[in-house]
């Protein structure tokens, strides 16, 4: 802390504000005292508890009504909305002069006169951008230029442009510093380099007659939400007033009548653009980015002279002065905001923003910028300096060339990827998963900014298209494909962030991803396909230990409790009826304990002789019995199809679904999977690490037919938990193997020897090991005395010594090698004979 304050003490902590950072945290963000480190302020910043208290007092002391009326309450609400518009437009003036004019909120935020600008409230920045795209006066001669570093919501405007026959083009901005002898006042040299021009087949469009120069649109963000890099706002004047020089070398240099759009959603929280100095035609923003609440409210600031050129088709209540129902007649309202705000304004949300602005005024945007940027620069410097024990770099930063706070080149965002000692990449999902276990909330992926992502990760069009062909889409689990990351890790700071949070994040990175000088790894040395314990530990163990099957457990319904038996029949999909049913939400999602922990309280049992599945829950008075209509090996398929369709008997279906709805407290339905041949390849990419290139017949199990757990491995985990966290042990019972939802529990031998098994024989039945089971947060959910509890354990401890290539492995996945000629059973007490060759 001392070294940090020595470098940033004049900037950090709001020394000149009514409250310093510690007082702000102690009085307005008490909910963060629970150990949560929130580092996704670029996604959404946090609301203040004082802010919410003031909103609640406001709403419970005043009456607000629909502004489309002449009553006193409605008129008062209209006045409040008008005041909010004006304050936002002029707010940027505050950053420049730190003096507040008696203007209203939204206009005030941007230092713009109501004579020049209007504020149109929308449902967010995305809706504001959509409004620009829909109403812009596109023609077949129009041009739409946009920087590579733009959010998808800006790229979506391209669809409107291309649909009208206009051309579109992504550009890169090159900014050179002043050369020797060049006057500093002349500013940096800015060049715009264009990429491929995009056009669509316009043969179906009616050819328009040229009526002078078409209108063109140039769009860029004030701050890139991927890297945090800030764009030079001189672009506004250069594009509008010096187009030919700025676009020199491009096919657009001769085009006139350019309008400029600034996406300020990310940047306006700390450095709002001054619209008096940089008179952009359109500026979009969202309020939750500024002060956390309200969500679902944004604004489009538009120049009044430009608004007259926009072409709006639809009209609604509030946007017309008069209309006649049975003839083609409508007279629209003349004021800009009245023309473009369809329906009733979100007047309660608008009423709430003044309390957010009050908070920001008490700190000032300049102080917020200095505070947050000091934290991001500190983190960047620390990450940049990290080295593995072999001297290799740990972190690759994106867009962080200038680490001086005075440069104003970057916002409070740090984007990076991490490398292993051998130079390969840690997947960003591994970072996110472990960060979550440490109580750190950050963001991973491309952050809806595909251009910046491809640019900084050096992903070619070929890379991007092959990734899509491999199944990669936004928010999936494919974080590294063909040796290249498909996204990055982002941490970002807000006005209430602290040095302690930044330091905790750095400590987390060091403890989780920096390899020490001795190449010990994470407690697992990877040899061939499977993780193994270090060979030095195995040399002293028994050469021929004995293993026995301790228990057999069937889980008929995915994510519900199972039941144990002494013997059970095997079939093509593993244990007969294992995970043959699942519970589905009304929107089609599969429900599991991760989403609905109460599912662990639903107990199950199957009576094979009676052909009944019985289900119980403390929430339901009666036990549920479901006739499964099957013999020991071949469930009838006439009632169910291979796509997990619901029961055909609709009365029975209603009875069953009502029972499960009551049991878990949400609308749902029970689905059954047929045992007909339906093969699943466990690893389409056939990665060599876990050898899952074999096909298996499975029901609703995630990865394989069987999960095997060793009692000795669980005992070793318990010893580590006892040594690590006394508080955890006082609050929780000792783990038993069933916490991990195994089908087979074995006893004998040493911990983790199952990691090395390739095949095994239990009794007369043969199995193939498919590698370790990648554990998730579900093992942190426990059922203790009928109460569902959540914690960070045991996954956090497992992550400290059972990590292999981004996976936290515990237990072994098996496939049954079925013998079609015999009907096989598996029995408790049978000997387990592994083969490690």
- Residues 834, 759 contacting (CB under 8 angstroms): yes
Structure tokens, 20: 């310093």
Structure tokens, 749: 């031998």
DSSP state of 346: -
User: How many angstroms separate the CA atoms of 671 and 586, rounded?
Assistant: 12
**Element containing residue 833 per DSSP (H, E):** strand 831-835
| DSSP H stretches of helix in 386-449 | 428-437
**Element containing residue 784 per DSSP (H, E):** strand 781-784
User: How many angstroms separate the CA atoms of 604 and 129, rounded?
Assistant: 52
User: How many angstroms separate the CA atoms of 507 and 639, rounded?
Assistant: 57
Report helix, strand or coil for 661. Answer: helix
Catalytic residue among 224, 268, 448, 560: 448
The backbone torsions φ and ψ at residue 710, rounded to the nearest 5 degrees and listed phi first, read -100, 130
Angle at the Cα of 496 from the Cα atoms of 432 and 400, rounded to 5 degrees: 55
CA dihedral 63, 67, 73, 79 (to 10 degrees): 100
- Residues 119, 345 contacting (CB under 8 angstroms): no
Residue 304 CB burial class (10 angstroms; 0-12, 13-18, ≥19): middle
Give the strand pairing for 440-441 and 37-38.
parallel
User: How many angstroms separate the CA atoms of 825 and 827, rounded?
Assistant: 7
**Residue-level length of the chain:** 837
Structure tokens, 60: 């419970």
Q: Which residues contact 258 (CB under 8 A, 6 or more apart)?
A: 216, 217, 218, 239, 240, 243
CA dihedral 699, 700, 701, 704 (to 10 degrees): 30
User: How many angstroms separate the CA atoms of 415 and 543, rounded?
Assistant: 50
The backbone torsions φ and ψ at residue 411, rounded to the nearest 5 degrees and listed phi first, read -90, -175
Residue 668's alpha-carbon distances to 602, 621, 659, 662, 698, in angstroms, are 14, 18, 9, 9, 23
CA nearest neighbour of 600 among 616, 586, 576, 612: 616
Largest Cα–Cα distance in the chain? 95
User: How many angstroms separate the CA atoms of 38 and 193, rounded?
Assistant: 37
The backbone torsions φ and ψ at residue 182, rounded to the nearest 5 degrees and listed phi first, read -85, 135
The question of whether 268 is a catalytic residue gets the answer: no
Structure tokens, 383: 């990450």
- Residues 749, 542 contacting (CB under 8 angstroms): yes
**Element containing residue 532 per DSSP (H, E):** strand 530-532
Report helix, strand or coil for 8. Answer: helix
Which residues have a catalytic role annotated? Answer: 448
């Amino acid at each position: 802390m001392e070294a940090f304050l020595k470098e940033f003490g004049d900037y950090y902590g709001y020394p000149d504000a009514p409250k310093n950072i510690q007082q702000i945290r102690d009085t307005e963000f008490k909910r963060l005292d629970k150990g949560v480190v929130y580092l996704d302020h670029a996604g959404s910043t946090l609301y203040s508890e004082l802010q919410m208290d003031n909103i609640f007092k406001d709403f419970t002391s005043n009456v607000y009504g629909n502004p489309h009326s002449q009553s006193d309450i409605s008129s008062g609400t209209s006045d409040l909305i008008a005041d909010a518009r004006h304050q936002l437009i002029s707010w940027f003036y505050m950053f420049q002069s730190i003096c507040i004019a008696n203007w209203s909120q939204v206009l005030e935020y941007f230092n713009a006169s109501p004579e020049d600008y209007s504020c149109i409230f929308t449902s967010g920045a995305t809706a504001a951008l959509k409004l620009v795209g829909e109403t812009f006066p596109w023609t077949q001669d129009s041009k739409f230029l946009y920087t590579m570093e733009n959010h998808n919501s800006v790229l979506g405007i391209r669809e409107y442009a291309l649909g009208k026959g206009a051309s579109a083009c992504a550009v890169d901005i090159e900014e050179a510093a002043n050369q020797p002898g060049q006057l500093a006042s002349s500013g940096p040299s800015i060049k715009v380099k264009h990429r491929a021009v995009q056009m669509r087949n316009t043969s179906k469009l009616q050819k328009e007659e040229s009526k002078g120069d078409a209108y063109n649109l140039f769009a860029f963000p004030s701050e890139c939400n991927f890297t945090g890099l800030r764009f030079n706002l001189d672009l506004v004047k250069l594009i509008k007033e010096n187009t030919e020089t700025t676009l020199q070398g491009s096919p657009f240099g001769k085009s006139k009548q350019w309008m400029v759009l600034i996406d300020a959603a990310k940047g306006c929280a700390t450095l709002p653009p001054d619209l008096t100095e940089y008179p952009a035609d359109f500026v979009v923003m969202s309020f939750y980015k500024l002060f956390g609440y309200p969500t679902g409210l944004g604004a489009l600031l538009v120049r009044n002279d430009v608004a007259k050129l926009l072409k709006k088709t639809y009209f609604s209540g509030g946007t017309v002065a008069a209309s006649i129902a049975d003839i083609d007649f409508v007279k629209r309202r003349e004021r800009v905001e009245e023309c473009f705000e369809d329906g009733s304004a979100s007047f309660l949300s608008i009423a709430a923003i003044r309390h957010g602005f009050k908070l920001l005024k008490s700190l000032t945007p300049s102080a917020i910028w200095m505070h947050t940027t000091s934290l991001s620069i500190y983190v960047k410097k620390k990450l940049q300096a990290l080295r593995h024990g072999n001297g290799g770099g740990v972190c690759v930063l994106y867009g962080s060339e200038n680490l001086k706070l005075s440069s104003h080149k970057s916002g409070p965002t740090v984007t990076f990827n991490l490398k292993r000692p051998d130079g390969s990449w840690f997947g960003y999902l591994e970072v996110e998963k472990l960060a979550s276990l440490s109580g750190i909330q950050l963001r991973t992926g491309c952050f809806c900014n595909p251009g910046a992502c491809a640019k900084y990760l050096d992903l070619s069009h070929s890379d991007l298209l092959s990734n899509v062909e491999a199944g990669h889409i936004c928010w999936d689990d494919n974080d590294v494909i063909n040796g290249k990351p498909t996204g990055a890790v982002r941490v970002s700071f807000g006005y209430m962030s602290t040095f302690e949070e930044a330091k905790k994040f750095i400590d987390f990175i060091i403890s989780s991803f920096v390899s020490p000088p001795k190449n010990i790894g994470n407690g697992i040395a990877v040899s061939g396909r499977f993780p193994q314990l270090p060979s030095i530990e195995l040399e002293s163990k028994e050469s021929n230990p004995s293993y026995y099957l301790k228990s057999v457990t069937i889980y008929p319904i995915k994510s519900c409790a199972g039941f144990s038996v002494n013997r059970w029949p095997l079939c093509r999909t593993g244990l007969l009826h294992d995970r043959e049913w699942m519970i589905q939400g009304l929107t089609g999602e599969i429900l599991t304990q991760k989403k609905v922990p109460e599912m662990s309280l639903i107990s199950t049992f199957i009576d094979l002789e009676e052909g009944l599945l019985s289900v119980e829950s403390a929430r339901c008075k009666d036990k549920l019995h479901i006739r499964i209509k099957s013999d020991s090996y071949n469930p009838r398929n006439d009632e169910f199809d291979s796509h997990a369709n619901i029961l055909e008997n609709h009365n029975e279906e209603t009875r069953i679904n009502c029972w499960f709805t009551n049991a878990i407290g949400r609308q749902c339905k029970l689905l059954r999977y047929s045992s007909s041949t339906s093969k699943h390849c466990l690893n389409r990419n056939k990665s060599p690490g876990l050898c899952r290139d074999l096909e298996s017949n499975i029901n609703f199990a995630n990865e394989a037919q069987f999960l095997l757990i060793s009692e000795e491995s669980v005992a070793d985990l318990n010893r580590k938990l006892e040594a690590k966290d006394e508080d955890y042990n006082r609050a929780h019972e000792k783990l038993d193997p069933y916490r991990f939802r195994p089908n087979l529990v074995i006893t004998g031998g040493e911990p983790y020897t199952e990691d090395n098994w390739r095949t095994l024989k239990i009794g007369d039945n043969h199995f193939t090991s498919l590698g370790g089971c990648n554990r998730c947060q579900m093992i942190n959910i426990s059922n203790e005395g009928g109460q569902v509890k959540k914690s960070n354990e045991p996954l956090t401890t497992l992550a400290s010594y059972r990590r292999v290539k981004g996976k936290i492995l515990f237990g072994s996945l098996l496939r049954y090698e079925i013998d079609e000629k015999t009907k096989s059973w598996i029995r408790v007490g049978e000997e387990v004979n592994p083969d490690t060759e």
